[in-house]
Chain A
Amino acid sequence: MATWLMWMTIGVPWLGALLVWRLGDERPNAQHHAAAVFSLLAGGTALALLPFVGETAVSRIPVGGVFGDFTLVADGLGVFLAIVATVVGSLAVIFSGAYMHGAAQLGRYYALVLLFIGAMAGLVLAGGFLLLFFFWEITALCSYALISFHNDDPKAVSGGVKALIMTQVGGVGLLGLALLAYGYLSSYEINTFLAQAHTLPAAVLSIAAFGALAAAAAKSAQVPFQTWLPDAMEAPSPVSALIHAATMVNAGVYLLARLYPAFAAVPGWKTAVLTVGLLSALLAAFMALTAHDLKRALAYSTVSQLGYMVYAVGVGGVFASQFHLLSHAVFKALLFLSAGAVIHAVGTRDMRQMGGLGAMMPFVRAVFLAGALALAGLPLANGFFSKELVLEEGLHHGPLWAYVGMLLGAGLTALYTLRMVAMVFYGETAVTRRVHDASPRMQLPLGVLTFGSLTTWLLAGPFTRLLAQTLPYHALKEMTTLEMAVEILTAPATALALLVIGLGLSAWLLRHRLHRWQRPLHPLAQAAVQSFGFERINQQLTVGTKGAAAVLSRTQTGQLNWNVAAIVGALLLVLVVLSWIVGWLVG
């Protein structure tokens, strides 16, 4: 039964993708409904997997030869993320019915979204590295195609290509990890790898560990790969909510959490992971503070919150990272979808041309405030509990300097969240056109996600039980929701964090009085606007590649003799290099 449900979670949305695509663009309503039905079915099958969760719920398809077996494993971590992917996916699809109303080429849009939902479920259910890599790249492909959905807009196309190239660079790390695992253990199975990782030579294990970190950083838009995510905001808002906030960008964090038991002992790995998380959290928070584009500000905040999850893995808090992932998936999807409702009504993404929208869109303001509450980490929202849990893990198991940095990040988060809310919904309005509130079709997914933002922390107890019982290598401890809530509410770290968050909030409210503090911070703001030089590095790389291509194109003479000489020369070079490598490995 579990076997069937696992393959159906992947297969149902893929079948839907084919069907919606075949329906044809002249029947947009049928396309909306078919896509919604198939995504809801996928959500249903993923939820139906819950009773079957266990490390023994395995489906194995022998592929033969060096490809090993393709396995799906329904353990707690995988099923939980499959549920997030399919449920948030179906909400985004329902929202698209209103948001994409009247858009051209809906078949392409829905087919890619459904293909993505299936691939994401496959990614988290995959039990072997090769199958994981396969789904990993399909999600990257869907992400690229959906960012560039408006393919007559050069910004959308370049954003898509950028996302594709950067995640591909990281993907090489994952492929290397898969090949190393197969080379040394003759199996792609992740659980075999976790059980026998200590038998690998230390140098090989550390190459694998840092390869996984590179892959995760690229996928989760962490330093130094973070620049692709803001440019991915050219995608339609439901896509941003689904792929670039709630699901695909979590794949990196998922990979790190999944492989944590194997790599925890690698010297320097944990420090590297928590440093990547800390840098991403802080730098992106500064960038969110200076952004004027609503969706870009949200994208920076996604990078920053993903930094919290990566940091949590780095200090050993696997459960804290996954718990924050759940909270973040819900509240960030809510924020992106309500931002989509605002953009749909106002017709611009520039926050300076908004303001005072609260009176005109009371429903959207209410749900956005719920999301903002969670993002800032204020009590009773899910973001409060998960962020406090991350910070507490950091205080007890991580270095103090990193904890202080993350605490500062929490204050900055509160500051930029309040700035966003104030610029969009309060103050004097700069909007001239008639603005309508969200339509009922938008209100349904927004309402569900708002409910989730305020309540998913109640799932903490069952969630720890799910993970602790089905992940044999992670050594997680079970906790009830009440225990967790009491522990968080009574910990002194929570009071400290709330104090910093309060400081962040008051910094925005008192910003006119803090005027003279702004001058020394000016260079920092300038640097944040220029993305701390990372964008410049990207440009240099592009220019360099193009220059090299121009130089190398002179070698393409079209002369037969010259080409044969190049082929023979290259063959000899490859032989020399290979024999050198083999000699080095053997000797």
Chain B
Amino acid sequence: MTLLNIGLIGVLGLLGVGFYGLLTSRNLIKVIIALQILAKAAVLALLVAGNASGQIGLGQSVAITVIVADTIVAVIGMALAIQVRRQMHTLDVVELARLRG
């Protein structure tokens, strides 16, 4: 079991958890958490790829950039969720999809 294999299994596991969350959850907060897990899979993939190709510095710096960008996504997502809850009195994405216009 090399480091590369362990890393790839981790990436696939995080991807699976994230997609499972996106597919099954109806709560907006849970959807945002699932998206965050997916983003963490991407960060891990960057580190693994950097390690495998011998460019650890490059991998780490891109990973940090992703973390920063992703934090903003999380914050804005949460803020939107709060506004949705205040305005529409629900966090159920199926309910929200029914509201047109």
CB pair A560–B93 under 8 Å, yes or no, is yes
Which of A74-82, A168-176, A561-569 lines the interface with chain B? Answer: A561-569
Interface residues of A in 41-64 (CB under 8 A from B): none
CB closest chain-A residue, reference B38: A564
The interface residues of chain A lying within 8 Å CB-to-CB of B97 are: 557-560
CB pair B24–A561 under 8 Å, yes or no, is yes
Indicate if B31 sits at the interface (CB-CB under 8 A). yes
- Most B CB contacts (10 A, CB to CB) among A557, A559, A561, A568 go to A561
Q: In the docked arrangement, what's the CA distance between A559 and B94, Å?
A: 6
Interface residues of B in 1-55 (CB under 8 A from A): 19, 22-24, 26, 31
CB pair B93–A564 under 8 Å, yes or no, is no
The interface residues of chain A lying within 8 Å CB-to-CB of B23 are: 561, 564-565, 568
The interface residues of chain A lying within 8 Å CB-to-CB of B24 are: 561
Min CB gap A268→B, angstroms: 46
Q: In the docked arrangement, what's the CA distance between A568 and B31, Å?
A: 16
Interface membership of chain B positions 75-99, coded 1 if the CB is closer than 8 angstroms to chain A and 0 otherwise: 0000000000000000001100100
The interface residues of chain B lying within 8 Å CB-to-CB of A557 are: 97
Q: In the docked arrangement, what's the CA distance between A529 and B31, Å?
A: 60
Min CB gap A15→B, angstroms: 40
Q: In the docked arrangement, what's the CA distance between A391 and B22, Å?
A: 68
CB pair B19–A568 under 8 Å, yes or no, is yes
CB pair A559–B93 under 8 Å, yes or no, is yes
CB pair A564–B19 under 8 Å, yes or no, is yes
Interface range, A side: under 10
Main secondary structure of the interface of A (DSSP, over half): helix
CB closest chain-A residue, reference B96: A560
Interface membership of chain A positions 556-587, coded 1 if the CB is closer than 8 angstroms to chain B and 0 otherwise: 01111100110010000000000000000000
Min CB gap A123→B, angstroms: 40
Q: In the docked arrangement, what's the CA distance between A30 and B59, Å?
A: 58
Q: In the docked arrangement, what's the CA distance between A485 and B46, Å?
A: 71
Q: In the docked arrangement, what's the CA distance between A564 and B22, Å?
A: 7
The interface residues of chain B lying within 8 Å CB-to-CB of A568 are: 19, 23
CB closest chain-B residue, reference A563: B22
Q: In the docked arrangement, what's the CA distance between A564 and B20, Å?
A: 10
The interface residues of chain B lying within 8 Å CB-to-CB of A559 are: 93-94, 97
Interface residues of A in 518-559 (CB under 8 A from B): 557-559
CB pair B19–A560 under 8 Å, yes or no, is no
Min CB gap B91→A, angstroms: 12
Q: In the docked arrangement, what's the CA distance between A559 and B99, Å?
A: 11
Q: In the docked arrangement, what's the CA distance between A561 and B94, Å?
A: 9
Q: In the docked arrangement, what's the CA distance between A557 and B94, Å?
A: 10
Min CB gap B39→A, angstroms: 15
The interface residues of chain A lying within 8 Å CB-to-CB of B19 are: 564, 568
CB closest chain-A residue, reference B97: A558
Q: In the docked arrangement, what's the CA distance between A557 and B100, Å?
A: 12
Q: In the docked arrangement, what's the CA distance between A568 and B12, Å?
A: 13
Interface membership of chain A positions 375-413, coded 1 if the CB is closer than 8 angstroms to chain B and 0 otherwise: 000000000000000000000000000000000000000
CB closest chain-A residue, reference B24: A561
Q: In the docked arrangement, what's the CA distance between A560 and B96, Å?
A: 10
Min CB gap B54→A, angstroms: 21
Q: In the docked arrangement, what's the CA distance between A473 and B5, Å?
A: 53
The interface residues of chain B lying within 8 Å CB-to-CB of A565 are: 23
Q: In the docked arrangement, what's the CA distance between A561 and B20, Å?
A: 10
Min CB gap A533→B, angstroms: 44
Q: In the docked arrangement, what's the CA distance between A561 and B92, Å?
A: 12
CB closest chain-B residue, reference A568: B19
Min CB gap B29→A, angstroms: 13
Q: In the docked arrangement, what's the CA distance between A510 and B24, Å?
A: 81
Min CB gap A363→B, angstroms: 64
CB closest chain-B residue, reference A558: B97
Min CB gap A468→B, angstroms: 52
Q: In the docked arrangement, what's the CA distance between A564 and B38, Å?
A: 12
Q: In the docked arrangement, what's the CA distance between A384 and B11, Å?
A: 72
CB closest chain-A residue, reference B94: A559
CB closest chain-A residue, reference B22: A564
The interface residues of chain A lying within 8 Å CB-to-CB of B26 are: 561
The interface residues of chain A lying within 8 Å CB-to-CB of B94 are: 559, 561
Min CB gap B99→A, angstroms: 10
CB closest chain-B residue, reference A565: B23
Min CB gap A500→B, angstroms: 68
Q: In the docked arrangement, what's the CA distance between A522 and B22, Å?
A: 66
Q: In the docked arrangement, what's the CA distance between A561 and B31, Å?
A: 10
Q: In the docked arrangement, what's the CA distance between A554 and B24, Å?
A: 21
CB closest chain-B residue, reference A557: B97
Min CB gap A570→B, angstroms: 13
Min CB gap B40→A, angstroms: 17
Min CB gap A171→B, angstroms: 35
Min CB gap A515→B, angstroms: 67
Interface residues of A in 474-517 (CB under 8 A from B): none
Min CB gap B96→A, angstroms: 9
Q: In the docked arrangement, what's the CA distance between A257 and B13, Å?
A: 56
The interface residues of chain A lying within 8 Å CB-to-CB of B22 are: 560-561, 564
Q: In the docked arrangement, what's the CA distance between A559 and B97, Å?
A: 6
Min CB gap B71→A, angstroms: 22
Q: In the docked arrangement, what's the CA distance between A564 and B19, Å?
A: 8
Min CB gap A242→B, angstroms: 49
Q: In the docked arrangement, what's the CA distance between A440 and B13, Å?
A: 79
Min CB gap B56→A, angstroms: 24
Q: In the docked arrangement, what's the CA distance between A534 and B69, Å?
A: 53
CB closest chain-A residue, reference B100: A558
The interface residues of chain B lying within 8 Å CB-to-CB of A558 are: 97
Min CB gap B14→A, angstroms: 14
Min CB gap B22→A, angstroms: 4
Min CB gap A85→B, angstroms: 47
Q: In the docked arrangement, what's the CA distance between A568 and B23, Å?
A: 10
Please provide the 7 A-B residue pairs with the shortest distance between their CB atoms, ordered closest to farther: A564-B22, A558-B97, A560-B93, A559-B97, A561-B23, A564-B23, A568-B19
- Beyond the given pairs A557-B97, A559-B94, A560-B97, 11 more chain A to chain B contacts, judged by CB atoms under 8 angstroms and listed by A's residue number, are A559-B93, A559-B97, A560-B22, A561-B22, A561-B23, A561-B24, A561-B26, A564-B22, A564-B23, A565-B23, A568-B23
- A–B pairs, 8, beta carbons within 8 Å: A557-B97, A559-B93, A559-B94, A561-B22, A561-B23, A561-B24, A561-B26, A564-B19
